[in-house]
Amino acid sequence: MADRFEILEETVHMPEKKPVTDEEDELNELVEELSIETKDVKLASQAKEEGNECVKQRPIMHVLMLASARRFFKDGRYLDAYDLYSKALRLCPSEDEYAYNKAVYFSNRAACLLHLGRPDESIEDCTMAIELSPKYVKAYMRRSQAYEKIDKLEEALKDVKSVLEIDPTIPSAIEADKRLGAIVHERQEKMKAEMLDKLKGFGNTILGKFGLSTDNFQMVQDPSTGSYNINFSQTPSKP
């Protein structure tokens, strides 16, 4: 499913307990988009009445930039969308009440970077978004995708699990958790086997000086605890 840009909302809402379908998610974003743009227009109108030309222009500029950025992204003009979100970040007020707004800008810019083949920079932007809004699940999901692009699957899986801690009903996170979990487990088992083979080779080099080999030692797993015991045998075990 193609990435969609988030639309700003006044507060960070707690996640619903039931799964949200793609259609519902898209509708929610559209509603939030209209509410924020309406809010910005009201702010501009208020500023006009107060005679503040500088403040008056800022909300209108945000409305135009966000609308253009969404259109550019939809049309595959990712660099143009990136530039507009960079401008939005520069114009965004620094007060804490705008932290979520900036988190959305960083996350959306990260999506552009991901499509531009710049996953490392995408990770940096997602990290900024998460620092600004620690429960912003889409920033975690995008960072997970970026980590996967550079084959850092353990980090990608960790971000997915963070999403599920915030909202365990997100379908894309559930799917990614299963998929990445299986791949990471397989890699870990392979690395474990390779390490044991190397240790075995090293052990045989040392034990060979005493007429022994690692085959003289058997690892027996305790089914109740999962730990291993090492038993010595004068007769080497047969593979």
Mean pLDDT of the chain: 75
CB 81 within 8 Å of CB 65:
no
In which residue are the tokens 């660099």 written?
79
pLDDT of residue 151: 95
pLDDT of residue 144: 98
Instruction: Summarize the confidence of residues 24-36 as an average pLDDT.
Output: 44
Q: Is 35 exposed, middle or buried (0-12, 13-18, 19+ CB in 10 A)?
A: middle
pLDDT of residue 10: 37
SS3 content of the chain, % helix, strand, coil (to 5): 70, 5, 25
Helix (H, G, I), strand (E, B) or coil at 126: helix
pLDDT band at 238 (very low <50, low <70, confident <90, very high): low
- Domains of the chain from N-terminus onward: 22-169 (1.25.40.10), 171-239 (no CATH)
pLDDT of residue 34: 41
Dist. CA 230–CA 103, nearest whole Å: 53
pLDDT tens digits, residue range 167-223?
999 999 999 999 999 998 888 777 776 676 666 666 556 656 666 555 655 666 677
Dist. CA 34–CA 156, nearest whole Å: 33
- Model pTM score: 0.65
pLDDT band at 226 (very low <50, low <70, confident <90, very high): low
Contacts of 182-191 with CB under 8 Å at 24 or more apart are 183/153, 184/153, 184/154, 184/157, 187/153
